[in-house]
């Protein structure tokens, strides 16, 4: 695996741009993966993240039961697989096999990292108060992995059901913060 351990207080830099992510879960040793666009960073250190997970999905059921997932961040070359993951259900398809995604064992949680994604965040659910009403899970990132050779990842960002904005150039603005 090309990814290396990444400092937790910098995790907000990976998710703060708002990329589409691939969330892996695992039930009874069987991994699954879903595409997800609705998430937000909620705190820096320890990093806390909120995810809106469609309640019809197998991933919703598994995340609610196991309280563990891995948030993987894909880049543009995986866009077709991302849409494929969104178009299928883990109830009937082994998405790892179907879309050529390679599971890699995580360190702190049961669901796997996805080798093809440039970053992966091992997470544990810490608050389910808003799951019943908004399908909103709050998670703590307990371990982060990033491919250190990728400085400006071409992440994809949802504009519509099948439309994505691909990350462009990086600009730096002097700040007093």
Contact characters 33-62, a second copy, x per CB under 8 A: ----xxxxxxx----x-x-x----------
- Of the candidate spans 10-18, 25-33, 94-102, 111-119, the one that interacts with a second copy by CB under 8 A turns out to be 10-18
By C-alpha distance, which of 74, 80, 76, 79 is closest to 24?
74
Query: Is residue 3 near a second copy by the rule CB under 8 A?
Result: no
Q: Does 150 bind a second copy (CB under 8 A)?
A: no
In contact, 112 and 104? CB cutoff 8 Å: yes
- The DSSP element (H or E) to which 6 belongs, if any, is strand 4-6
89 sits near a second copy (criterion: CB under 8 A): no
Tokens 């544990």, residue located: 124
Strands in 10-161 per DSSP E = 21-27, 30-36, 39-43, 48-52, 68-73, 103-104, 113-114, 119-127, 136-146, 156-158
How far does Cα 29 stand from its chain's mean position? Answer: 19
Cis previous bond, 46, omega within 30: yes
- Smallest distance from the beta carbon of 142 to a second copy, in angstroms? 18
Binding of residue 16 to a second copy (CB under 8 A):
yes
Question: Contacting a second copy (CB under 8 A), which of 8, 27, 58, 79?
Answer: 79
| Residue 149 contacts a second copy per CB under 8 A | no
Q: Tell me which stretch binds a second copy (CB under 8 A): 22-30, 91-99, 112-120, 128-136.
A: 128-136
Q: Which is nearer to a second copy, 145 or 164 (CB)?
A: 164
DSSP reduced 3-state for 106: coil
List interacting residues with a second copy (CB under 8 A). Answer: 13, 16-19, 37-43, 48, 50, 52, 76, 79-80, 82-83, 86-87, 127, 129-130, 133-134, 136, 138, 152, 154-177
């Amino acid at each position: 695996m090309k990814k290396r351990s990444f400092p937790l207080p910098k995790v907000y830099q990976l998710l703060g741009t708002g990329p589409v992510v691939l969330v892996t879960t695992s039930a009874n040793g069987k991994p699954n993966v879903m595409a997800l666009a609705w998430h937000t960073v909620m705190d820096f250190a320890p990093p806390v993240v909120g995810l809106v997970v469609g309640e019809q999905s197998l991933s919703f059921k598994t995340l609610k039961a196991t309280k563990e997932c891995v948030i993987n961040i894909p880049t543009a070359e995986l866009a077709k697989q991302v849409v494929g993951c969104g178009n299928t259900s883990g109830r009937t398809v082994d998405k790892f096999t179907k879309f050529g995604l390679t599971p890699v064992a995580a360190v702190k949680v049961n669901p796997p990292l996805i080798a093809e994604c440039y970053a992966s965040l091992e997470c544990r659910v810490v608050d389910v108060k808003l799951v019943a009403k908004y399908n909103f899970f709050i998670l703590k990132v307990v371990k982060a992995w990033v491919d250190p050779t990728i400085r400006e990842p071409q992440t994809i960002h949802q504009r519509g059901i099948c439309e994505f904005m691909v990350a462009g150039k990086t600009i730096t603005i002097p700040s007093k913060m």
